[in-house]
Amino acid sequence: MSLDEFGLIDRIRSRTGARADIALGIGDDAALLLPAPGQQLVVTADTLNAGVHFPHETPAQDIGWKALAVNLSDLAAMGAQPAWCTLSLSLPESSASWVEGFAEGFFALADRHGMALVGGDTTRGPLAISITAMGQVPVGQALRRDGARPGDDVWVTGVPGEAGLALALWQQRQLAVAGPVAEPAREQLRLRLARPTPRLEAGLALRGLASAAIDVSDGLLADLGHVCARSGVAAEVMESSLPASQHASELQLGAAFEGLRAGAGDDYELCFTAPASARAQVAQSMASVAVRATRIGYIRTGSGVRLLDGEGKAVSRERSGFNHFSIGGQ
Ligand code: ADP
Ligand code: MG
């Protein structure tokens, strides 16, 4: 069934959750929102293009989830509480079933975090999804990239590299992204790529604890490099501290995974720094939100990021996988 633009908008509008801080939602020329007093508005935008940011055969449900997840991940990295978003859809055809599928994945994640859709735009064109996500953080409490100090610990959540491994398997035709796939470890890897978990609870728990934070979208070392550049510091990461992947081991892909941990993107984990004096508190706060967090290195004076082997020698950039890694290249 094909629908006109207003039919598509109605389908989306009917799915969104309500919030008391929306004076006027979808249906007018613009939305009217009521940010809470004492809070800063946190605003971020990200676009996903078919064939560049996800394979063309990706199910609509997974596209809906991931388009929102990458934006929520930016809010998480700021320590923000999600609130509202807008959705701009460019669709090659007006298919009701595609929009229903997209909405299913999108609102599964939006509802989980109390995020309401308050507006957007719908046009005809190559498949692309552009979302603006808004959240709130108490004045002065946002997690920024510019607060890392020499002596701080470097931490990472989850297991960076698993999404990259899933992507590599898909590129080698060893993983069907249209899944689900039968083999449990392979399915878990597919989900790391198709349905990343934005670390919002971790971001909130790190307010007042982390000195700097970023989400890992382009690769661990590359993103840590952004923190260093903004903070005017250097970082050392111990290769032996990087989390191992149980799923990769189960599939006998441990060696391939090792080459992806530091450089592959698309994981949407958080990389953050915190004073060594807060080590126990950080571990406790991550445990309280049931998020695995691993201490992987230190902030130093100077500039740049170095990956060190077991003997404290710098690992070559080629071997560290310190390059951009994405589906179509960007
Ligand atoms: P306008 O032409 O004034 O920009 P539209 O006809 O494009 O308005 O949209 C009508 C209403 O539907 C607006 O409130 C707009 O924010 C909303 N809307 C349009 N597309 C979407 C979408 N993909 N998701 C959510 N809301 C949308
Ligand atoms: Mg208008």
Residue 269 has a pLDDT of 98
Residue 325 has a pLDDT of 35
Exposed / middle / buried, residue 315 (Cβ in 10 Å: 0-12, 13-18, 19+): middle
Residue with CA at minimum distance from ligand 1 atom 2: 29
Alpha helices (H) along 40-161: 60-77, 96-112
Identify any residues that bridge with 293 across adjacent strands, giving them in sequence order: 157
- Residue-wise pLDDT tens digits, 221-267: 999 999 999 999 999 999 999 999 999 999 999 999 999 999 999 99
Distance (Å, whole) CA 44 – CA 71:
7
* Residue 220 parent element (H or E): helix 220-231
Exposed / middle / buried, residue 14 (Cβ in 10 Å: 0-12, 13-18, 19+): exposed
End-to-end, the C-alpha distance of the chain in Å comes to: 34
Distance of CA 201 from the midpoint of ligand 2 (Å): 36
What does the angle CA 48 – CA 49 – CA 55 come to, to the nearest 5 degrees? 100
Instruction: Give the pocket of ligand 1 (CB within 6 Å).
Output: 9, 12, 26-29, 87, 89, 117, 119-122
At 171, the pLDDT band (50, 70, 90 cuts) reads very high
Residue with CA at minimum distance from ligand 1 atom 10: 27
* Residue 223 parent element (H or E): helix 220-231
pLDDT more than 70, % of the chain: 95
Write the DSSP assignment of 248-297 as a string of letters: HHHTT-HHHHHTTTTT-----EEEEEE-GGGHHHHHHHHHHTT--EEEEE
Count of beta carbons in the 10 Å neighbourhood of residue 18: 7
Distance of CA 121 from the midpoint of ligand 2 (Å): 10
Distance (Å, whole) CA 152 – CA 175:
39
At 329, the pLDDT band (50, 70, 90 cuts) reads very low
Which one of 86, 122, 130 would you pick to mutate in the ligand 1 pocket, going by the greatest count of ligand atoms within 8 A of its CB?
122
Give me the mean pLDDT over the 80-85 stretch. 98
Identify any residues that bridge with 270 across adjacent strands, giving them in sequence order: 215
Residue 27 has a pLDDT of 93
Residue positions forming the annotated binding site for ATP: 120-121, 145, 217
Residue 72 has a pLDDT of 98
The domains located in the chain, with CATH, are 5-138 (3.30.1330.10), 153-308 (3.90.650.10)
At 1, the pLDDT band (50, 70, 90 cuts) reads low
Nearest to 271 by CA among 234, 227, 205: 227
- Residue-wise pLDDT tens digits, 264-307: 999 999 999 999 999 999 999 999 999 999 999 999 999 999 99
More confident position, 13 or 3 = 13
Residue 327 has a pLDDT of 40
Residue 316 has a pLDDT of 80
The packing angle between helices 60-77 and 184-194, to 10°, is 60
Residue positions forming the annotated binding site for substrate: 53, 266, 322
Residue with CA at minimum distance from ligand 1 atom 3: 29
What is the pTM for the complete model shown? 0.94
Please tell me whether residue 205 adopts helix, strand or coil conformation. helix
Please tell me whether residue 155 adopts helix, strand or coil conformation. strand
Distance of CA 27 from the midpoint of ligand 2 (Å): 9
Distance (Å, whole) CA 79 – CA 206:
7
Residue with CA at minimum distance from ligand 1 atom 22: 120
Contact between 298 and 227 (Cβ < 8 Å): no
Amino acid making up residue 46: D
Tell me the CA distances in angstroms from 125 to 50, 64, 249, one per residue in order. 11, 17, 42
